[in-house]
Chains A and B, each alone.
Chain A
Amino acid sequence: MAQHDDGGTSTAAGSAVEKAVPFVPSAGTAVVTSDAIKNPGLPPHRERVTDLDPKKDRQAERRVYTLFYLSIVGSVFAVAAYIAFPITPGDTASVRLNTLMLGLGIALGMLGIGIGAIYWSKNLMRGDELTESRHLTRGSDATRARAAEIMHEGNVESGIGRRSLIRNSLIGALVATPLPAIVIFRDLAPAKDPVKLLKETMWAKGTRLTRDPTGTPIKASEVTLGSVFHVIPEGLNDKEDRLEEKAKAAVLLMRLKPEDLHVSKGRETWNYNGIVAYSKICTHVGCPVALYEQQTHHLLCPCHSSTFDVTNECEVIFGPAKRPLPQLPISVDSEGYLVAQSDFTEPVGPSFWERS
């Protein structure tokens, strides 16, 4: 009773068109049984109260038109609310009231129609279900045969199959036409090589460290133990490309006890009396690493929880980032203000292919 098949061999594309036998698609590994339970057919229709009781019918009708009238009331109310609840500049309460009243009016206008129409269709329109038969999605054999014939005629009359030079050169031409459309997008970005830009920041020898966002310079003496400063290079705020520069040059400044700092060889002079400056841009995907935990000296990126240890030159102790935050070598100038010794010694921010 079980019919078994190991694949769709009987349904090779197009084969059914030539065959005169009716199309029977493969059932695959489905079990087709002759002993299946018979479909009992549609159950008898049950009348609704509105079908049986004229009073209920009239009641339902009243409800529907009441809802539609309510919708009109809502829409008119919305228009009235637009005028009656204006926005007073600077008063957020008036904005809230305007939003609320206008919204309530529009919502009533919508819901009145919506609920009314659904109630109407469920209670007053015809209540029994209708049946429509389905047909195979594929065209009838005659239609498919005619379609194949048309394609064949098209082929013969144009000769596209036979005249291979015409066909292939046309395909080549069609492939080539979109090329300019791709090329003309080159100027989406400036001509300059991005790699060079990504490897340098505004910091240079002698650039003062200033407060973000005011731009006032910071004296070493102001940086008390345990404090943290959000820092931008001096002159950043006057720059035309302020945000682009800031996205690379933002720095965090902290002061730790010098004995808490583990300084590696070659970086002995990069801090000033325990004051250290690190890039604020996460080495994962570039969020600002803005959360400083004073007790543990950890920096936490709020985006993906990468955690950096300031006492250990900001190496990653948790999270998806790999590289430590780059350190900005600092010292003080003759007036006691903190300055950079140079630019960062490696590219800041997220990794990129050409970084190393």
Chain B
Amino acid sequence: MTVTTTRPAEAPAEVAPPVSRGSRFTGAAANYIDERTSISGLVKELGRKIFPDHWSFMLGEVALYSFITILLSGTFLTFFFQPSMAEVHYSGSYVPLKGIDMSAAYASSLDISFDIRGGLLFRQIHHWAALLFIASIGLHMLRVYFTGAFRKPREINWVIGFLLLILAMAEGFTGYSLPDDLLSGNGLRIIDGMLKGIPVVGTWISYLLFGGEFPSTDIVARLFTLHILLLPAILVAALGLHLLLMVVNKHTQFAGPGRTNDNVVGVPVLPIFAAKAGGFFFVVFGVIVLIASFFTINPIWNYGPYDPSPVSAGTQPDWYIGFADGALRLVPPGWEFVLWDHTWSFNIILVLAVVGIFLAVVAAYPFIEGWVTGDKREHHIADRPRNAPVRTAIGAAGVTFYAVLWAAASSDLIATHFKVTIEGVIHVLQALLFIGPVIAYFIAKRVCVGLQKKDREIALHGFESGRIVRLPGGEYVEVHEQLDDYERWRLVSYNDYKPLMIRPNAEGRITMSQRMRASMSRWFFEDRITPISQNEIESGEHH
């Protein structure tokens, strides 16, 4: 579009507005680039692309922008950090540690904190942004899950997003371990212990990873390579793919008047979405900087250099590792056996299995639900969580399961803060790990069905207006007011599924998988509340 302004001869002379110097320059520049890159096609394709608006769509943006913040602040840190475990004599300006032997990694982390202007600020920006990154990925995933935005055609993007979560946690853990302080060293010690618990290959995996016996002198350099090269490269590639697929699939939108499965209603990229999203990047960055200026995170100088012997009570991992650490704590005593001349550490194998299966179910969920419904249509309208009660209930159960593991990571702090025994806390959490998800499941499902019934009631009979009218016969009634069409549409437009009826296949047989699918389908859709039909509305208007 801008290109045409460079060729005023083509436009009728009397229509052409006076061209300012600024726009002449933009036009010339655009022409220059387009003649060499064909970029006008991209602008035409994407420039007016529509993005729907909802506060929950921001969560993914927060993740993206905190990642950019991490990249920028991390790059600054690499100029000062020394990923080496060579022993040095600390001579920096943090007095309490003067003269102590420590690794170059720890010493340079102290230098970043105490001798380089802005160093502490950027360390804290980097750490806070990392915490926010993983938190916002988690919330973004919950939003996608509870609104069913993972359904066709977005199943692959769900899996890529899941991969991004795993990569983000790996980035978090490798970065956390780099300063080689006492706390992170203990974290590595736990990783070492867990690796050694893996049957057959565990001892060797630990030996190869650490480059010898724990802690050895290689691990920081190796984690550094993973942290700043390998993992970010994979992460950026996966992130690019994630965004590309989002553009290809176009964003989901919530049900609303005028919004259908075949359109996108919202604001165009240029100029509104670009201004909003671009502005939001600066807001996210700014808020992280603000937090980092006011609140200390990971004060490594208080912990001292890594030493396998000391440890302090009540130490905690970064929040996103908590669920795995909590799982380690919840294993009952004695789950380790010697069988066939080998040590089977089920107190570790079990944890790896439970965490692994939990994550696998998360990754596979879109395919499970797709198999149950057999629905091969594309879905672009985000569900309200209440309108998919069983999905929402499963999600609530999963969140509860995670929350119990997470709480278990702080079992000792819970015990000291609430003045209860640590054994009591562990036993309660062990029980909650099984009972909690079941309770959450049923509560969530009942709440969803209840809300659906309420929606149905309001859509059919309107809402109570609070106006009491006395009829000629002396009877008092409360006037119900009908919703207008726009409000009603939000309540009644959702997908409805029936439980699957088992039918024999072409060979006249009922297969095992068909039976399983039918029972899953019954579980999902037995207690369904059907959406209101036009007929019901019309017959409802008469009484």
Contacts and interface: CB of A to CB of B under 8 A. Distances in A.
A356 B374 CA distance: 51
Nearest to B283: A114
Interface string B399-423: 0000000000001100000000011
A350 B199 contact: no
Contact of B375 (A26, A246, A291): A26
B541 to A, nearest CB: 13
Contacts of B502: 6
Given A37-B492, A232-B309, A316-B334, A132 B264 contact: yes
Interface stretch (B2-10, B310-318, B448-456): B310-318
A50 B283 CA distance: 23
A31 B265 contact: no
A302 B313 contact: yes
B390 interface: no
A111 B287 contact: yes
B534 A38 contact: yes
A287 B190 contact: yes
Interface stretch (A120-128, A147-155, A216-224, A270-278): A120-128
B258 A39 contact: yes
Interface in B321-346: 325, 328-336, 338, 341-343, 345
A295 interface: no
A290 B311 contact: yes
Interface in A1-21: 2, 4-8, 11
A247 interface: yes
Nearest to B486: A43
Contacts of A318: 333, 422-423, 426
Contact of B342 (A115, A117, A134, A356): A356
A100 B534 contact: no
A257 B282 CA distance: 66
Interface in B196-228: 196-204, 206-216, 218
A104 B200 contact: no
A285 B194 contact: yes
Contacts of B145: none
A82 interface: yes
B20 interface: no
B308 A250 contact: yes
Interface string A265-304: 0000000000000001110111110110000000000111
B307 A246 contact: yes
Contacts of A291: 313
A350 B193 contact: yes
A290 B309 CA distance: 8
A242 to B, nearest CB: 8
A80 B379 CA distance: 53
Interface stretch (B23-31, B115-123, B136-144, B357-365): B115-123
Contact of A99 (B120, B264, B335, B336): B120
Given A31-B497, A117-B282, A25 B275 contact: no
Contact of A302 (B212, B314, B488): B314
A230 B309 CA distance: 8
A7 B485 contact: no
Contacts of A246: 307-309
B347 interface: yes
Q: How large is the interface on B (under 10, 10 to 19, 20 to 34, 35 or more residues)?
A: 35 or more
Contact of A113 (B121, B282, B345, B537): B282
Interface string A22-47: 00011111110101111111110000
Interface string B35-71: 0000000000000111001000000000000000000
A36 B534 contact: yes
Contacts of B158: none
A40 B118 contact: no
Contacts of B329: 304-305, 319-320
B88 interface: no
Contacts of A40: 257-258, 485-486, 489
A102 interface: yes
Most chain A CB atoms below 10 A, which of B206, B265, B272: B272
Contacts of B216: 244
Contact of B262 (A42, A114, A134, A355): A134
Given A111-B286, A117-B276, A39 B260 contact: yes
A110 B265 contact: no
B50 A130 contact: yes
B293 A107 contact: yes
Contact of A243 (B281, B307, B313, B348): B307
Given A29-B375, A230-B309, A286-B190, A354 B342 contact: yes
Interface stretch (A157-165, A194-202, A328-336): A194-202
A87 B118 CA distance: 9
Contacts, number: 390
Contact of B207 (A86, A125, A189): A189
A104 B293 contact: yes
A130 B48 CA distance: 9
Given A114-B286, A120-B275, A86 B117 contact: yes
A118 interface: yes
B268 interface: yes
A354 B203 contact: yes
Given A133-B263, A250-B309, A287 B189 contact: yes
A188 B496 CA distance: 56
A82 B280 CA distance: 26
A99 B533 CA distance: 62
Given A42-B257, A302-B412, A353 B279 contact: no
A321 interface: yes
Contact of A121 (B190, B275, B312): B275
Q: How large is the interface on A (under 10, 10 to 19, 20 to 34, 35 or more residues)?
A: 35 or more
A136 B378 contact: yes
A6 B374 contact: yes
B495 interface: yes
B521 A29 contact: yes
B533 A42 contact: no
A351 interface: yes
B533 A352 contact: no
A99 to B, nearest CB: 5
B465 interface: no
A86 B426 CA distance: 49
Contacts of B333: 316-322
B196 A352 contact: yes
Contacts of B343: 351-356
A305 B412 contact: yes
A116 B378 CA distance: 38
A37 B286 contact: no
A43 B489 CA distance: 11
A353 B497 contact: no
Contact of B212 (A190, A195, A286, A316): A190
B535 A35 contact: yes
B278 interface: yes
Nearest to B331: A320
Nearest to A247: B308
Interface of A: 2, 4-8, 11, 25-31, 33, 35-43, 82, 86-87, 89-90, 92, 95, 98-100, 102-104, 106-111, 113-118, 120-122, 125-126, 129-134, 136-137, 185-186, 188-190, 194-195, 197-198, 212-213, 230, 232, 241, 243-244, 246-248, 250, 280-282, 284-288, 290-291, 302-305, 316-323, 349-356
Given A288-B308, A318-B422, A356-B343, 15 more contacts: A6-B502, A29-B498, A107-B286, A110-B286, A134-B378, A137-B153, A189-B208, A190-B211, A287-B193, A287-B311, A288-B186, A303-B311, A318-B423, A352-B206, A354-B343
Q: Which 8 A-B pairs have the closest CB atoms?
A: A103-B293, A285-B193, A117-B279, A28-B374, A42-B258, A114-B282, A110-B286, A89-B93
Interface of B: 48-50, 53, 93-95, 113-118, 120-121, 124-125, 153, 186, 189-190, 192-194, 196-204, 206-216, 218, 248-250, 257-268, 271-272, 275-276, 278-287, 289-290, 292-294, 306-315, 325, 328-336, 338, 341-343, 345, 347-348, 373-378, 380, 411-412, 422-423, 426, 485-486, 488-489, 492-493, 495-503, 514, 521, 525, 530-535, 537
